[in-house]
Amino acid sequence: FLNDIARAYENDADLVNLLFDPYFRSAVESRLPALRRVVAAAVTAGIPVPCLSAALAWWDALRSERLPANLLQ
């Protein structure tokens, strides 16, 4: 894992976020459907998963060009 991180910064020394590296972006995107299913099942069952749901919301916000919160900013 650390080698993958080092490789990402070797490829782009000005990398702002690891998720902008193609390897890490594809790793997250390939697992995103499973994360959505887990969060949905937990919420449906009344099981709090604050870290998982916050991570999913953060990812959705990161990749969204326009959000309702932009009106407040």
Condensed to tens digits (0 to 9), the pLDDT of residues 24-73 reads: 999 999 999 999 999 999 999 999 999 999 999 988 888 777 766 655 55
What was the pLDDT predicted at 65?
Answer: 72
Q: Is the Cβ–Cβ distance between 44 and 50 less than 8 Å?
A: no
Q: Is the Cβ–Cβ distance between 8 and 18 less than 8 Å?
A: yes
What was the pLDDT predicted at 72?
Answer: 54
The distance from CA 60 to its chain's CA centroid, rounded to whole angstroms, is 7
